Chains A and B, each alone.
Chain A
Amino acid sequence: MNRSYVNWIGYRTLMRKELMRILRIWGQTIVPPAITMSLYFIIFGNLIGRRIGEMGGFDYMQFIVPGLVMMSVIQNSYGNMVSSFFGAKFGRHIEELLISPLPNWIILLGYLSGSVTRGLMVGIVVTVVALFFTEIHVHNWPVTISVVLLTAIVFGLAGMVNAIFAQKFDDIAIIPTFVLTPLTYLGGVFYSVSLLPPVWQNISSGNPILYMVNAFRYGMLGISDVPLVTSYLIIIGFIFLLGGVCLWLLHKGTGLRS
């Protein structure tokens, strides 16, 4: 049988399996972000936001929508990969793939497609929730779509690295809790970094999530604290870096093969 055909069918099967998983546990995958983001919109956007007034030329509710959409995409693409891949490793059903003829890059692509799909699904749900609170006009569709897609890929890949090294369930909670959440909150979701003192602006410039949130905000609102080209370079750079790391770890069998 032709290798490309085997790989294509294998990829489709893996993608199907991941999609079934997301939909089977929709109460864990789709609903919680919708509820959490609704609370953010009510508390930060509606109650507190009215006292803040405008930010970057938009009312505060409109300003935080891109950040909150991006935050949910980041958390869910990462969370889907780490829970699905580590779950497969922990339950040992990853062996179904490891003993199959599928190459490592198809295994990576299959899981990555699942995590990007969940990230985008949740992003769409949060956007729909946002429509209940404010009007949304997209400034630049290609930038909006490409940035959200590329960001979901970055965090799907990061989730894979975490899942490969994780040995117990605690290990898949450490990075989201102690790294991802602080970086997201400090990545300009709720504020413009131009409001910060110069020292903190410089420190913030080391946070890759800042570039992703701002590139997405540019796509939706047309404003950004950082140059768009820099954002794309950082996002694509992370994709190559993390993708290479994932493939190398899968090739070595780290955490998967004895």
Chain B
Amino acid sequence: MLALDIRDLKKTYKNGVQALKGVSLQVERGDFFALLGPNGAGKSTLIGIISSLVNPSAGQVTICGHDLSSDRAQAMASIGLVPQEVNFNQFERPLDIVSHQAGYYGIPRKLALERAEHYLRQLALWDKHDKPSRTLSGGMKRRLMIARAMVNQPELLILDEPTAGVDIEIRRSMWTFLNEINRQGTTVILTTHYLEEAENMCRNVAIIDHGNIVENTDIKTLLAKLDVETFVLDLRHPVEQVPQSDGIHFHLRDATTLEVSLPKERSLNTLFAALAEHGIEVLSMRNKSNRLEELFMRLVENEQETAA
């Protein structure tokens, strides 16, 4: 059964901007799904329509079997939303913010308070539960929005760049939390600019650009499309001339840093054999960029060329 079923969704704003040009997307229940795309691609509009904050121009959205236009209340009862920007009353206390949200979903006060405490503790915010929320740090505010979104125990949790601008420790604790709730059965849809995050956590991915879905597949299949991988090598001794080898592309960044583009059909052994042949000693190596990031850039660039 699908957690989210979007058919031919279109959105044209009053100023004439066509944000979505007929998006169709299906997300299975229990999935951990990444929705990627450059700024202005239509991600936020898509999330806005799913969460009923944006009215669609055409198309159909079904959330956990409930049609958004004809069965809005049930559809909305099935989702939790963590928006990109802080949207809670910063004069209220975290406990009130989370427990009030539970009340809007028909959860009685006693249970609402229990659940609010549970999620605030899980997200390491309980010691701040009675402080004005404006005094929380940026990372805490994001975790508070996750606690708020979870309080109705949604079947589908949508997070719009939840880890943007938070430090790595908090980001990792969020990953652990999200993995745990996904393991317990909550479907998670995530938009992020950290493609490493999508690669590590998500099973399926859709890439949206210029209001169209340009790729929709599982992460493994997508990564298999990467035909060239680029590595950065730190060298022990400076080299003056760029080495030459059949099928491998070398680029000298500086005297002790070499960039290598290796086609997928060539093994790393071939690379090291070529380096040894030129007497180059490698101290360390790393990917130039995240693999998904490389694919993402190519897909988006292709789309831009097609559009031009």
Contact = CB atoms under 8 A, between A and B. Distances in A.
Report which residue of B51, B54, B73 has the largest number of chain A beta carbons within 10 angstroms of its beta carbon: B73
The listed residue with most B CB atoms (<10 A of its CB), out of A97, A100, A102, is A100
Interface in A212-258: 253, 257-258
B81 A13 contact: no
A102 B104 CA distance: 7
B106 to A, nearest CB: 3
Given A95-B53, A95-B83, A257-B52, A17 B72 contact: no
A24 interface: yes
Given A93-B88, A96-B88, A257-B54, A101 B105 contact: yes
B52 A99 contact: yes
Interface string A61-99: 000000000000000000000000000100111011111
A20 B96 contact: yes
A123 interface: no
A17 B89 CA distance: 11
A101 B73 contact: yes
A1 interface: yes
A51 interface: no
Contact of A101 (B76, B86, B89, B148): B76
Nearest to A11: B103
Interface residues of B, number: 36
Contacts, number: 90
B101 interface: yes
A14 interface: yes
A47 B89 CA distance: 45
Contact of A1 (B87, B89, B106): B106
A31 interface: no
Given A13-B103, A91-B89, A100 B54 contact: no
A255 to B, nearest CB: 13
A39 interface: no
10 contacts: A9-B106, A9-B107, A10-B103, A13-B100, A16-B100, A17-B100, A88-B89, A96-B87, A98-B53, A257-B54
Interface of B: 13, 45, 48, 51-55, 72-74, 76-77, 79, 81, 83, 85-91, 96, 100-109, 112, 148
Chain A to chain B: the 8 pairs with minimum beta-carbon distance, closest first = A13-B103, A6-B106, A100-B104, A92-B87, A101-B73, A258-B54, A101-B77, A101-B76
Given A6-B105, A9-B108, A258-B13, 17 more contacts: A1-B106, A3-B73, A13-B104, A16-B103, A17-B96, A91-B89, A92-B86, A93-B89, A96-B87, A96-B88, A98-B52, A99-B52, A99-B81, A101-B72, A101-B74, A101-B104, A258-B53
